[in-house]
Amino acid sequence: MLTLIEKILFFVLAVGSLYLAWRSFRQAARVIQRGDGRLYMDELPRRIWRALEVTVTQRTVFRARPWSSLMHGFVVWGFLFYFLANTGDVLEGYFDIAFLGTGIIGDVYRLAGDVLSVLIIIGMIYFMVRRFVVRDPALKYHENVKLHPRIPGDIQRDSLIVGAFILVHVGTRFLGETFWVALHGDDTWQPFASAVSGLWGGLDHDALEVGEHVLWWLALGTILAFIPYFPYSKHAHLFMGPLNYFSRPDRRSLGALDPLDFEDEAREQFGAAKLEHLSKTQIFDAFACIMCNRCQDACPAYVTGKELSPSTLEINKRLEIKAHMGALAAGTESPSPLLDFAITPSAVWACTGCGACIEICPVGNEPMFDIMDIRRDLVLTQGDFPSELQGAFRGMENAGNPWQVGESRMKWAEGLDVPTVEDTDNFEVLYWVGCAGSFEPRAQKIARALVRVLNAAGVKFAVLGDAESCTGDTARRAGNEYLFYEMAKANIETLNEVHPPRILVTCPHCLHTIGKEYPQFGGNYDVVHHTTFLNELIQAGRLKLVGEGRTNVTFHDPCYLGRHNGEYDAPRYALGAAGAAVTEMERTRNSSFCCGAGGAQFWKEEEHGTARVNLTRYAEAKATGAETLATGCPFCMRMFADARQDESMNGGPEVKDVVEIIAERLGLEV
């Protein structure tokens, strides 16, 4: 128990520490408030539960690196307990009590403190050795990636400060408990402290009391010293991570972009050129970032040697904010554009929009959205974008398709009886053929195969024919939001006139755009991917699949079918029903590796790197030994068909769409 003078001193120090921390957190909050849009506070019980569930279970951390994740779990679970333990220590310092009593509750409390203290120490030693001794390559960056000037020193210094704080704080509290055990005798509920307490057997009673007293001050004093630094440190993710999950928007899908308000005549900035142009959520991401680099491990651009690292994008933002925290909090314009300190133009245009960085992030960061907003600024405000995209933009604007083809959208259907909505009443589904199915030769075969399968199943369908136009997905992902806006409005007007009961698509990008982004503009439709629909037909007995033998197939999960829209099982079920044995690639389902076409990459030259994305993924398919690489996206199909022609891929699997495999089993022409 503290003396009166010590109680007064601790109170004064605690108030001073909390005041300094409050000032720092207030500055951080003001910087976040500089952003566009809002933080989301609706449905508070659900949001609170989500934040608590993610924090306590650590399920988002365990998505990758299981050993490091376990060590991180030790530290997090221990610190969650330490909120209670530190409260108890302060109360015991001020009052002559045993916190939580001497009964079973107090016993369990002491056991938890004993075990978790040891686990925290083990976890922190692991992380310190990993960073400073082993120098894990996962914590480094490619030489061509843009790094904020403060990164080399700040990250190492901050990691050392945080690591030292945790080890000193937890270590001194644990040692304090060993002195307590030495004073009062072995405690079966504190096995580790009891084991260590034998070291103090030669000390008398007074020395043990002094030691316990000094260690109490060291344990809690380190907290008082660290709290003002806390908002500036990476350890802030302990609070900012859960708060990020708590306040993030509820998107219709992982990659659904927010619209820009083109009706606001007072608006001059479209997209993000500076920090304050980002949304509040995007600025919050910088404070929440744990600097673990998992996002760059999952990023197809980074893995293939491009200049893009989603991790350094967030870290660069964080360090720029840290360097100008006071000025930014006061409302001063940020001194440098994002392209000067956060990311290079090549990195901006290397993003495939696959969403892998969002899927893997333990704290809910969404760096892909930063990149899309920077593209919007480059295209809409600065007119600075890869020249190859101009052709796609012009084609969508003038011909309704990025291929710039002026012929009928029904040419793919020559020789088939494909009804249009003008000729058909009460159709079951509206088949949205898409630009690829209408104009790209390989995708046309997929469209024709689907029509034959639909006819075999007795599905009454119709198409829009020449009334169909590009959904605008390419324009939106390339940053040309205004072109997308105009195309979306026109398509919604067409669809609302037709009132389709259901829209069937073969392109996951059409699935995502019509199903998840058109609702932003009043277009609400039931949209289904053809692999999902085929599986429904099989389950309903409308498709009777026959065929001898089993084909060894590996399935590539298209990003906009899987990660963005959550459909993983239907393609595999359909393949299984068609007699295919599916061999999974190493990166599959929500960890699938992009084909390289998304994010408008299909319409431009791939940014310079050490490898091509499509070749990297196709090599993974080849490594399975499968005879066929199946997919459910016309763009993935084209990327892998091109990869198969590369000399290095001789003997690789044939590339087919799921519907083509089913058509073969039905004995239909493909």
Residue percentage of the chain with pLDDT more than 70? 100
Quote the CA–CA distance of 92 and 344 in Å, as a whole number: 54
Q: Which CATH class is domain 275-381?
A: mainly alpha
pLDDT of residue 583: 97
Sign of the CA dihedral running 229, 233, 239, 244: positive
Question: Do the two domains 275-381 and 545-665 of this chain adopt the same fold?
Answer: no
User: What single DSSP character describes residue 630?
Assistant: E
> pLDDT category, 607, cuts 50, 70, 90?
very high
> pLDDT category, 126, cuts 50, 70, 90?
very high
Q: Residue 185, by phi and psi: left (phi above 0), alpha (psi -120 to 50) or beta?
A: left
Evaluate if residue 48 carries a pLDDT over 90: yes
The answer to whether the CB of 497 falls within 8 A of the CB of 421 is no
Evaluate if residue 475 carries a pLDDT over 90: yes
pLDDT of residue 642: 96
Mind listing the pLDDT tens digit for each residue in 338-352? Answer: 999 999 999 999 999
Strand partners, 631: 657
pLDDT of residue 664: 92
C-alpha to C-alpha distances, 85 to 96, 194, 440, nearest whole angstrom? 16, 18, 65
For β-strands 503-505 and 429-432, DSSP reports them as: parallel
Q: Which residues contact 174 (CB under 8 A, 6 or more apart)?
A: 114, 117, 118, 121, 192, 193, 196
Mind listing the pLDDT tens digit for each residue in 435-457? Answer: 999 999 999 999 999 999 999 99
Q: Amino acid identity of 600?
A: A
Evaluate if residue 603 carries a pLDDT over 90: yes
Instruction: Kindly state the tokens that stand for 461.
Output: 């369908």
**In terms of C-beta distances under 8 Å and separation of at least 24 residues, what long-range contacts does 221-227 make, across chains too?**
221/13, 222/165, 222/168, 222/169, 222/172, 223/17, 223/86, 223/169, 224/13, 224/14, 224/17, 225/17, 226/165, 226/169, 227/17, 227/18, 227/20, 227/21
The answer to whether the CB of 612 falls within 8 A of the CB of 304 is yes
Q: What is the CA radius of gyration of the chain?
A: 29
Evaluate if residue 499 carries a pLDDT over 80: yes
pLDDT of residue 170: 97
Look up the CATH number of domain 545-665: 3.40.50
Mind listing the pLDDT tens digit for each residue in 296-305? Answer: 999 999 999 9
Among 41-55, 98-112, 230-244, 557-571, where is mean pLDDT lowest?
Answer: 230-244
Mean pLDDT of 425-432: 95
Evaluate if residue 550 carries a pLDDT over 80: no
> pLDDT category, 548, cuts 50, 70, 90?
low
How many CB atoms sit inside 10 A of residue 343's CB?
26
pLDDT of residue 547: 59
How many CB atoms sit inside 10 A of residue 647's CB?
5
pLDDT of residue 289: 94
Domain boundary assignment for the chain = 4-247, 275-381, 405-536, 545-665
Evaluate if residue 180 carries a pLDDT over 80: yes
User: What single DSSP character describes residue 411?
Assistant: G
CA angle 112, 171, 212 (to 5 degrees): 90
Question: DSSP states of 95-148 as a string?
Answer: SS--TT-SSHHHHHHHHHHHHHHHHHHHHHHHHHIIIIII--GGG---TTS---
The answer to whether the CB of 270 falls within 8 A of the CB of 476 is no
Task: Return the closest-CA partner of residue 591 out of 13, 51, 62.
Answer: 62
Look up the CATH number of domain 405-536: 3.40.50
Mind listing the pLDDT tens digit for each residue in 505-532? Answer: 999 999 999 999 999 999 999 999 999 9
pLDDT of residue 670: 74
The answer to whether the CB of 520 falls within 8 A of the CB of 576 is no
Angle in degrees, 0-180, between the axes of helices 569-577 and 658-665, rounded to the nearest 10: 20
Mean pLDDT of 18-28: 94
Evaluate if residue 47 carries a pLDDT over 80: yes
pLDDT of residue 549: 58
pLDDT of residue 1: 79
